[in-house]
Structures are given as structure tokens and as C-alpha cells.
Amino acid sequence: MNKGKRALVTGGAGFLGSHLCDYLLGKGLSVVCMDNLVTGSLGNIEHLAGNQNFKFIKQDVTEYLYLPGSLDFIFHFASPASPIDYLELPIQTLKVGSLGTHKTLGLAKAKEATFLLASTSEVYGDPLVHPQKENYWGNVNPIGPRGVYDEAKRFAEALTMAYHRYHGVDTRIIRIFNTYGPRMRAHDGRVVPAFICQALEGEPLTVFGDGSQTRSFCYVADLIDGIFKLAVSSVTEPVNIGNPHEMTIRQFAELIIRLTSSSSRLEYRSLPVDDPKTRQPDISKAKEVLDWEPRVKLEDGLKETIEWFRNKSFGPSPQ
């Protein structure tokens, strides 16, 4: 069904983008991976070197885009996506959400390709509605330190819908909730790699606030499956993809300590500005229109992720 089809993945050397490249190649598509490697890594795609159906282009998507040949899909995943990244790269984050989305939508229009925007649960800000449904407009501080990421994605969604309505571009919008798995960067500020690395090294797990804020964690394989189902659907409105199983950060820290058999303790610090107090997707729409829901249990996915970090830090375990 997919043989002969070609996809562009921007941000394809990142955590999610590289898993998406793998998935698309496994589905029989040829893949062009574009990344400027500001937060992505060639290590995430080095196993694809020599694959005749895979091509890597080092480029910033905010610049002029030219890609010869046909394209059937464009997956726009380019963006700093962790708190440390977008606080250190605020202008780049705004540019890739605005100019980068504009350039990739223009390419989709020229190629008559299906365009999928990787948006985020951050468009809901610090939500006043729980759990979050797609028709919730959010509670975002546009001038706070996190606003550069939130508003970049909100603008990207607005631009995507404008291209769909005005130019007739075939578009999709996925709102991604907390996702974890192998290939996450160790020190990118996200809670999963932070806690795992601290636990493996026997350091205190840094819990911000009193640890009562909640998150919901989706394993990367489940997320990528949802992304592809959305891409080949006819759904043009935003769709939440995530795991609705909610837990407090304190509970999550205790789970990581147990799974790593670590002697680490919890260390509490001040809550960052505008840190969301709750985060839980309502995935009713994904179930209804995509027949999708997460399948990987949290402990199973965490064990895979912990083993990946253990091998990355200390080398493969002896057989």
C-alpha cells in the first residue's frame, strides 16, 4: 500500500522524529530526514546509514526549502521540545514554529502532500479543564518563559488550519502528551530522563514543588502508531495522542527508584514559573476516529527505557 510513497520528516534526527523515520521505513515508504542537529543527533539515525530508502539532509527548516521529486507526506517535527531547550533557544523555538511551519506548509502545497503538524499538550498551558479535550482553548501565559514554546505551537496550529481552509492543503494536527522511550537525551530537562539518570547514578531525584502535580506518560511506540493512523486518516481537526493514565510526579519518582533498584531519595525544589499542575489527555476522539489507544504498560515501557539509559551510560550489560 505504501510502496513508492515518500515522506519528509523535519526534526527527523530527534527523539520522536527518529522513531517515526524507523516506523515509516518499516511501512515501506522512502524517507527524507531533515534536521539542523541543534537538538537532534546523528546517533539517533546512524543505524539507517546505507539504507537506500533513507536520506538525511542537514538543514534549518526556517530557511528556503527545496526538495526535488514527489512527496506524499510531510511530518513537521522540527522544534526544541524540552524545557531546557526552549528556555535556552527561545527565538529559535519561535522561528521554527512560525517560519518553519510556513516553509513546510508551502512545500506541502507545492507537492500536494499530506501535512502533519506535531503540536503539543502545551497548547493547553496550565489547564483549568481536566482532563484536556481538543475543544479546550487553553490557559497560556504568552509572555512567560514557557510562552515561546506554547505560543509557537499555537501559531503553528493556526497557520496549519489557515493553509487547509484557504489553500486546500490536506493537513493533520496531533497534540502530543508526555512521551518517553529510548533515544531521549539524558539532560534535556524532561522528567523521565532526569529521574532515570539520577536514579542510575544514585543521585537525589529532583522533584519540583511538592510533587503533587500530575503527568501522563505514553511510550514512544504507541505514540508513533497513533501518528501514522492520523496521517492516513481524513481527520483535519486536532487529535490528542497520549496515555490517560495519570499519576503524581512524586509517585512517578518512587516508581523509577523501585524499577532501578536505586538507593536515591527525593529532593524537593521550587516549582518553575507556569509549570502545569495537571496534564492528562482525553483520548475519546482518538479512540473514535482512529481506533487508537495506548497498549504498552507504563512499567514495561519504563523498563525498556531504563535499560537503554543503563547501556548508554555504562555500556552493554554482560551476558
Q: Using DSSP, state whether 216 is helix, strand or coil.
A: strand
Buried b (16+ CB within 10 A) or exposed e, 271-306: eeeeebebbbbbbebbeeebebebebebeebbeebb
Residue 108 CA to residue 145 CA, distance in Å, equals: 31
Catalytic residue among 23, 86, 124, 149: 149
Intra-chain end-to-end CA distance of the chain, in Å: 40
Looking at the chain, how many residues does it have? 319
| Pair 132, 240: CB distance under 8 Å | yes
Contact 124, 149 (CB under 8 A): no
Active site residue 166: no
DSSP codes of every residue in 235-282? --S-EEES---EEEHHHHHHHHHHHHT----EEEEPPPTT--S---B-
Catalytic site residues?
Answer: 149
